[in-house]
């Protein structure tokens, strides 16, 4: 280590002393010659100013010795070596990093120095008189610079690095540039000169030794074969020479995907099935084409390119999973077609031109779809009914035949009914087997002009399968309402009115709505055709004028006239009604303004005596008492329920499923109900405890229909009559006729055929039962006491 000395000189001017003082150059001190000292002593008698002569000190960093590191020496010309001069040091690091021997002026570093932490220190030195403490020299400043050594390796401050490069990139494609930083002094030697090299990642990648740029070094790198690479880069200082320090970093490189793989179906044939009841847009199945690429390069577009179900099925692409979803496009029918075949294509929508030679980037597969049969509800043909019916249609008339069929192969029988929520008024009835829609109540267009009902069809073998159809019934108008006045008309005529004066304009309304429009005809009623007071003029615009026929009306003669007017319509048949116009005679002024319409009160002299009035009231009271007495007697009388001209000798049929009254029970059942209906109609039996039975249905149902066993029309009309008769007592009864015999599961329960062979059983006791059992005794061969057949 070279010593560095800082000396003192004496001169009048600071800069002029540079030639006389000790000069420190490059870390060495040069003393004064004798001639220089003589010249200096000659100038002592002049005005002098002492000053430091300074330069730089240099010291190496990272000193590892145990003794303090000698830096340099301070020396003043005033110092004669007798210890009278005291050197002091101040400034950066004084006393902490650097110390000075106050007698000799030697400077030492007492701490380890690091140039990367601090490259130089600025200090100030001064020489003092040890006895008086007076400055012998002005304070002077100098610098201690820390000399660099190669003690820092290169560092990658941004590492580790992450980069990506497209797969199949050409050789030399730039990936990423890495940079290492060396904390050593770049201006001193090669300590900060960095050289890059690759330790791991060959032969796939290379690095530029000077710039640190990483490039691809192998062609056709395939992401699907290897996607991730870990590359280790080394940076070494000293230009890469032996002994240089080195640092490393890791670069994680990912091959990004390109569309270099075409899609392929793993299956060339798919088998699917779908229920024929599947709704439109429901999913049938899924197909998927595999693509080794990812992201946008693996996106798929599926389509139907061939097959016999192109109009029945559709396919959509799921963007999340890139699968093709086959859906129902139209309703299916197992009975019409049981299977379909589709050809499905999957293709990449995003292609790269430089990889088209690896294609084609599409693939196809075949899908077979089987339609499975299900039990479907009945289907109506057509699917909607519109019926027009006149409002005067008779009850029980068939207005439409509703037709439905079972679409299944089994073709089950159909039963029809009406959804009563759609027909709360029960105006219609449908035959349960034929589907004939009939009227059950009279229709009135003026009340309800449209009926929207729902007819249900149910499979006989599976009641849960129910189909429905809407039936719209438009009630057509018939001329069944006579015209009438639009309002109550009341006219006034002045006493001074002249003949031919208009007193009232009348108009009419009609609830009917004929297609050709309303047209009314007005005339005076026949009984008023020759009315001497008023006349009528039909204006032919559905209005009429009432005119006076004479003048000279007087209130005291007659203050009110009632004029009947006949109103007729233009319908078929023509209907008419009579309206009454009330005309009051009033007193008017000269301008025709009504003043008073009250006639003078006239008192009639006619009156009844008190005796006559009492007699009339007494007669009325007697009549009322007689009527009440007759009614009371009729209620107390007890007569048989059945009135017949001759005694009924037939026994009544009695149900003996429970213990009854035996032969004496003659009131249990009317044997007439079991007679031939044709014969029963000839004999009318009246019950005394109820009103007469509902009239015959001949006015609703023609006899021809009855003879044709049109039971529905008969029952409907009968039901309507019963519903409309509010006074009929509730004498409903239920008779049950249980059939037994060959068609019964229990077969015959009769004893007539219970013994198929001859038996010793005797039936002679039947003869003791009387004439009523004669026929039965003959059937069993019973004989009387005389031995003859009875």
Say which CATH number the domain at 386 has. Answer: 2.60.40.60
In terms of domains, do 368 and 391 share one?
Answer: no
Q: Please check whether residues 207 and 222 belong to one and the same domain.
A: yes
Domain that holds residue 159: 155-256
User: What is the reported pLDDT for 659?
Assistant: 52
> Are both 290 and 357 inside the same structural domain?
yes
Residue 657 in any domain: the answer is: no
Instruction: Give residue 1's pLDDT.
Output: 39
- Helices then strands, each counted (H, E), the chain: 6, 44
Number of domains in the chain: 5
Last residue of a domain, one of 256, 291, 324: 256
- The residues that bridge with 200 in the sheet, in sequence order, are 232
Angle made by CA atoms 258, 261, 262, in degrees to the nearest 5: 130
Which of 723, 696, 721, 708 lies closest to 398, judged by CA?
A: 708
Is position 23 within any domain? no
Say yes or no: 508 and 591 in one domain: yes
Domain contains 601: no
Single residue among 423, 448, 476 that ends a domain in this structure = 476
pLDDT of res. 687: 44
Q: 123 with 90, same domain? A: yes
> Tens digit of pLDDT for each residue in 412-469?
889 999 998 999 999 999 999 999 999 999 999 888 999 999 999 998 888 888 999 9
pLDDT score at 678: 42
- Contacts of 171 by beta carbon, 8 Å cutoff, 6+ apart: 215, 216, 217, 218, 219
Same domain, 235 and 332: no
What per-residue string of b and e applies to 272-294 under the rule 16 or more CB within 10 Å gives b? bebbbbbeeeeebbebbbebbbe
- Residue 120 in any domain: the answer is yes
Asked if residue 510 and residue 460 are part of one domain, the reply reads no
Residue ranges for the chain with pLDDT beneath 70 = 1-55, 599-609, 637-710, 712, 726-761, 781-790
Half-sphere exposure of 180 (CA within 13 A, CB side): 29
Do 327 and 308 share a domain, yes or no?
yes
User: 476, 500, 524 — which closes off a domain?
Assistant: 476
Q: Classify residue 747: in a domain, yes or no.
A: no
Intra-chain end-to-end CA distance of the chain, in Å: 172
Token pair recorded at residue 358: 């690896």
The answer to whether residues 383 and 452 belong to one domain is: yes
DSSP 612: H
Identify which of 463, 458, 395 has the alpha carbon closest to the alpha carbon of residue 429. Answer: 395
Q: Please report whether residue 413 resides in a domain.
A: yes
Q: How far apart are CA 31 and CA 24, in angstroms?
A: 10
Residue 66 and residue 139 in one domain: yes
What pLDDT score was predicted for residue 263?
Answer: 93
Domain membership flag for residue 343: yes
- 730 belongs to a structural domain: no
Q: How much is the pLDDT for 703?
A: 41
Q: Give the model's pLDDT for residue 566.
A: 92
Contacts of 789 (CB under 8 A, 6+ apart): 778, 781, 782, 783
> Are 454 and 513 contained in the same domain?
no
Closest CA to 387 of 372, 396, 398, 379: 398
Say whether 712 sits in a helix, a strand or coil. helix
Domain shared by 196 and 232, yes or no: yes
């Amino acid at each position: 280590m070279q010593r560095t000395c800082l000396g003192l000189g004496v001169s009048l001017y600071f800069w002029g002393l540079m030639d006389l003082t000790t000069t420190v150059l490059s870390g060495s001190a040069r003393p004064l010659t004798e001639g220089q000292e003589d010249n200096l002593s000659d100038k002592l008698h002049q005005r002098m100013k002492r000053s430091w002569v300074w330069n730089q000190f240099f010291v190496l960093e990272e000193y590892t010795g145990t003794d303090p590191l000698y830096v340099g020496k301070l020396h003043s010309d005033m110092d004669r070596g007798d210890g009278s001069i005291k050197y002091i040091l101040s400034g950066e690091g004084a006393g902490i990093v650097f110390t000075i021997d106050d007698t000799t002026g030697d400077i030492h570093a007492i701490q380890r120095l690091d140039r990367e932490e601090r490259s130089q220190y600025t200090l100030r030195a001064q020489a003092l008189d040890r006895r008086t403490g007076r400055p012998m020299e002005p304070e002077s400043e100098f610098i201690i610079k820390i000399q660099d050594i190669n003690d820092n390796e290169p560092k990658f401050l941004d590492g580790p690095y992450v980069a990506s490069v497209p797969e199949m990139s050409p050789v030399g494609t730039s990936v990423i540039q890495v940079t290492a930083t060396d904390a050593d002094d770049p201006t001193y030697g090669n300590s900060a000169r960095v050289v890059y090299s690759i330790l791991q990642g060959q032969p796939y990648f290379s690095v530029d030794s000077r710039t640190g740029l990483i490039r691809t070094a192998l062609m056709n790198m395939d992401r699907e074969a290897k996607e991730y690479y870990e590359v280790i880069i080394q940076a070494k200082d000293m230009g890469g020479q032996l002994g240089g320090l080195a640092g490393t970093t890791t670069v994680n490189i990912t091959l990004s995907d390109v569309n270099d793989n075409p899609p392929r179906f793993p299956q060339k044939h798919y088998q699917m099935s779908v229920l024929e009841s599947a709704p439109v847009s429901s999913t049938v199945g899924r197909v998927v084409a595999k693509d080794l690429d990812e992201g946008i390069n693996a996106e798929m577009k599926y389509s139907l390119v061939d097959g016999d179900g192109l109009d029945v099925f559709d396919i959509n692409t799921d963007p999340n999973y890139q699968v093709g979803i086959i859906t129902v496009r139209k309703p299916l029918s197992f009975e019409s077609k049981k299977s379909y075949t589709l050809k499905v294509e999957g293709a990449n929508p995003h292609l790269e031109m430089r990889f088209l030679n690896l294609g084609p980037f599409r693939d196809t597969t075949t899908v077979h779809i089987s339609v499975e049969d299900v039990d479907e509800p009945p289907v109506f043909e057509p699917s909607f009914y519109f019926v027009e019916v006149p409002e005067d249609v008779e009850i029980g008339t068939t207005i439409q035949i509703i037709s439905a069929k079972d679409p299944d192969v089994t073709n089950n029988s159909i039963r029809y009914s009406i959804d009563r929520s759609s027909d709360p008024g029960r105006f219609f009835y449908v035959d349960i087997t034929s589907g004939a829609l009939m009227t059950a109540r009279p229709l009135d267009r003026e009340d309800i002009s449209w009926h929207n009902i729902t007819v249900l069809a149910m499979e006989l073998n599976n009641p849960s399968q129910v189909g429905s159809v809407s039936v719209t019934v438009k009630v057509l108008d018939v001329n069944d309402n006579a015209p009438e006045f639009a309002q109550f008309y009341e006219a006034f005529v002045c006493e001074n009115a002249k003949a031919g004066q208009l007193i009232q304009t009348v108009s009419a309304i009609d609830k009917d709505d004929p297609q050709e429009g309303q047209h009314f005809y007005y005339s005076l009623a026949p009984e008023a055709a020759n009315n001497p007071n008023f006349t009528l003029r039909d204006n032919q615009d559905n209005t009429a004028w009432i005119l006076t026929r004479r003048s000279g009306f007087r209130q005291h003669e007659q203050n009110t006239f009632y004029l009947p007017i006949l109103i007729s319509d233009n319908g078929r048949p023509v209907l008419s009604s009579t309206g009454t116009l009330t005309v009051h005679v009033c007193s008017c002024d000269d301008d025709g303004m009504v003043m008073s319409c009250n006639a003078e009160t006239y008192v009639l002299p006619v009156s009844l005596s008190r005796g006559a009035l009492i007699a009339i009231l007494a007669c009325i009271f007697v009549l009322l008492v007689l009527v009440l007495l007759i009614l009371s007697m009729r209620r107390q009388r007890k007569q048989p329920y059945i009135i017949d001209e001759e005694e009924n000798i037939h026994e009544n049929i009695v149900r003996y499923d429970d213990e009854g009254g035996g032969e004496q029970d003659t009131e249990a059942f009317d044997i007439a109900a079991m007679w031939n209906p044709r014969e029963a109609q000839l004999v009318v039996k009246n019950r005394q405890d109820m009103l007469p039975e509902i009239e015959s249905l001949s006015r609703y149902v023609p006899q021809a229909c009855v003879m044709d066993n049109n039971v529905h029309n008969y029952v409907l009309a009968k039901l309507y009559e019963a519903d409309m008769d509010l006074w009929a007592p509730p004498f409903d009864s239920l008779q049950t006729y249980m059939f037994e015999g060959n068609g019964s599961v229990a077969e015959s329960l009769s004893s007539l055929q219970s013994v198929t062979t001859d038996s010793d059983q005797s039936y002679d006791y039947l003869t003791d039962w009387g004439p009523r059992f004669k026929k039965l005794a003959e059937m069993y061969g019973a004989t009387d006491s005389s031995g003859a057949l009875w």
